[in-house]
Structure 1
Amino acid sequence: MEDLVDMIRVRADLAGSEVVLWWTGDVYAWAPDSGPHHIYGFEGVNVARAVAVEGGYELLTREAAFYLDPRSREILDQWDNKFTGERVDVLHVWNDPVNQRWPADGPYGPFRVPRVRIGEDVIFNTDVLLAYPSPLPVAEFPDNSGSDTYRAMELFQFFTRATDVDDPEVTDVPCTLSWTRVAPWLPWMRMADRPGALVYHCRGAKLAGWAEVPERTRDFVAEHGPQYAHAPEAWSGPNETSWTYFQKHAAGNPSFR
């Protein structure tokens, strides 16, 4: 139970207040005999609320993130695909919801999160290894999907001060974070079954509130999805991903197919 409570304190707030995580970084293309290539910047926010439930906690979140020109750092509308020679429309990340259930004792045993104490710091890490049927079967999405199985890795590290973690009165532990993601080509890139992958390399922090999110990102969210400035009020599902979001948009927008 200690790991669960501490991770809620680090990732969210044990008292149930909204918590904003912000990150920024870059995306690289990794292909056989090519590159690696720096193809985008990337910046986003996740707003979360932890809710105590029987047997553990629910983490209620939604997130928005945007692909940027790697040099100017402006939010992209279109992208020139150097691999195919095609200009494509960019579909940003608008995932609502992104909810998780964290049971104190689940099907694989008690909740555990590895941590390392280095001097006055404590580092928590969570490695999420994913493999499940793709929402975009190749037969239906030959230009957008290279496999009927979605495979990816989401690798998180949360950096905290030992004095905060050791104090049970601190319900909302300040942290900075790193996030690395290895994933297939994005569907809107129209890479079909070309071999290769994307590597995301980002860093960020838990902020004091929405007002600390960079102004450009706050403005973009306010214009295109103001609900993303707040966490969900209640559990809902299924979770949205870039793949399911693309599936919905492709149905009504032939330019993505």
Structure 2
Amino acid sequence: MMIWRHIVVIFGIFCVTSAKFTDLENFIRVIGSLNSSDSAISYLNGSVYGKQPGTNLQKLFNFEGYNINRKLRQQDGSFLSLSREFVVYRQPNTSQILQVWINKWTNKANEIFYVANDPVNAVLDSPSPSQTLPHYRPQYLVYNADIVLEYPNPLSPDKYGNYSAGPIYDSVELFAFFANYIDLFNRTDSSIPMTGTWMRKSEYLPWMEMATTAGGLYYTTMAWKCNEGEGLSCVADDIMQLIKKYYPKYEYAPSKEEEPNETSWTVFKKVVDQRREAGLPDIIIPEVNTTSNSRTMSNDVDDRVLNLLYSWPLSMAVNGSAWSEIPGKQSICLFNINGNFQFDLEHLPEYNGYRVQLDGFLIVRDPKTGMILKNFTNPITGKNNTLPKPIVGLDFVFSKDSFYTMDIPSSKVVGLLGAQSSEGSHNSWSVNMINLIFPYSELSKSPPSAHFYGTLGSFSSWPTWMEMDDVPGNIVVKLTVSK
């Protein structure tokens, strides 16, 4: 997850400094703590979806856990980030922690491997790109960290055929860390409350035994920092039971650097290798499928959020970037984007879901100079493409279980998560995600004066105007939004 060494800079940097702290120090205060004796806990909660070509997005799991980290200042002014992370997969209707999953595509029982990555370390010598929201009267600040991962797959196809999607590991991770602008610059605390969004596209998990089956997984979560000084009290009770019984080291952040970093792929490989050496089968299905803690998931949207979003028209400023994802090749930032959308939400009783319409304009800019583009020189094909008209209209339909809110008391906000997919002509497709954050203080205001912010993410086939039908891969777009 947080493999900071591979950060790809998408936006230009908005320098954020104060008399008290440097921009790097403020970044550390937002994502962790300047106090090296503290273990900062970044919690995450959301959903995992699967999609195969020509099919709609399917919700597979709820996804919940945390990263526990420590930041150590180095002599050169950088920070060494030491962390480990633990996340479980939940049954989406009952929220039970799963140990076995009946694969929706193969109808086979799969042994679930929790995310138990230790260590997850990095050297942070500069802050992620940042910007203030809204630009005309800053209330919030966001650091964006967008990561495209392309490296040799630890699970080589010749030795781990059932578990390997190929010789190259390919994924995209989109992080956004939001903090209150006034708190960041008026307070002297070593740690500042943070609420964030995390979106991810990846190959199937190795324990799903999907080999080279076409398709993959899409993650969307809210993330937040637990209150300083409260330890692991923010962690769900059933997760803490697992930690205390089987994973006690995840109660503390590491205190010294260890190598190499672990991922779900390397952890899976270690377990399989150990089992093979012991003469055991690669996969061992547990006798017990779920934990005993069961509760019905309502997947509701907070009435205060609905009251705000139903108040059409809502004008949202957007800005971000588009870049390439081609397996085995380094990602290229294609262009930057800024513009404005009118946000319109409609309840669809017959569909038991919601419809979101975004109408407005998007301006395309050169990622190096910031100049507005009328034509696009494609760095992948070398062609000179004519850009479409800047007026855009987007129409998304979300099922009820894929459009819901969660209360985040430690950040004093309500988070909204939405995920959906669309299929078009000529094998075109898109997976679209909306993660919005509504501060408590804004939900009590009248809709015209209320502010909210968040992230829009899209993974899709190449746009027709790019003339790239014969090029493998897809385009990735991430937009920071604010109202």
TM-score, normalization by structure 2: 0.50
Are residue 166 (structure 1) and residue 182 (structure 2) matched?
no
The question of whether the paired residues in 1 share the 8 Å contact of 2:129 and 2:144 is answered with: yes
CA RMSD of aligned residues (A): 1.6
The question of whether the paired residues in 2 share the 8 Å contact of 1:3 and 1:113 is answered with: no
Aligned equivalents of 1:218, 1:64: Cα separation in 2: 10
2:476 matched residue in structure 1: none
Aligned equivalents of 1:14, 1:182: Cα separation in 2: 31
1:181 matched residue in structure 2: 200
Aligned equivalents of 1:241, 1:186: Cα separation in 2: 11
Instruction: Indicate the SS of the match to 2:56.
Output: strand
2:468 matched residue in structure 1: none
Residue by residue, what CA displacement relative to the aligned partner does 1:116-150 show, whole Å, maximum 9, x if unpaired?
33241112211111111110011111111111111
Bigger Rg, which one: 2
Asked which structure has the greater RCO (Cα within 8 Å, sep 6+), the reply is 1
Are residue 71 (structure 1) and residue 93 (structure 2) matched?
yes
Structure 2: give runs of 5+ residues left out of the alignment: 1-16, 285-483
Q: What does 1:31-42 correspond to in 2, within 5 Å? A: 31-42=52-63
Instruction: Indicate the SS of the match to 1:204.
Output: strand
Are residue 91 (structure 1) and residue 113 (structure 2) matched?
yes
Residue by residue, what CA displacement relative to the aligned partner does 1:82-123 show, whole Å, maximum 9, x if unpaired?
21121111011110000011124xxxxxx5423333241112
Alignment equivalent of 1:222, drawn from 221, 225, 244: 244
Instruction: Indicate the SS of the match to 1:22.
Output: strand
Alignment equivalent of 1:28, drawn from 10, 34, 49: 49
Return the offset for 1:178: 1.0
Alignment equivalent of 2:133, drawn from 106, 112, 117: 117
Instruction: Indicate the SS of the match to 2:191.
Output: coil
Alignment equivalent of 1:254, drawn from 281, 284, 287: 281
Are residue 148 (structure 1) and residue 167 (structure 2) matched?
yes
The question of whether the paired residues in 2 share the 8 Å contact of 1:3 and 1:112 is answered with: no
Q: How many residues align?
A: 251
2:30 matched residue in structure 1: 10
Structure 1: give runs of 5+ residues left out of the alignment: 105-110
Aligned equivalents of 1:225, 1:47: Cα separation in 2: 13
TM-score, normalization by structure 1: 0.93
Alignment equivalent of 1:210, drawn from 206, 209, 232: 232
Instruction: Indicate the SS of the match to 1:249.
Output: helix
Runs of 4+ residues over 4 Å off in structure 1: none
1:57 matched residue in structure 2: 79
Comparing 139-148 with 182-191, greater Cα deviation is found at 139-148
Are residue 157 (structure 1) and residue 176 (structure 2) matched?
yes
Aligned equivalents of 1:47, 1:15: Cα separation in 2: 14
The question of whether the paired residues in 2 share the 8 Å contact of 1:22 and 1:46 is answered with: yes
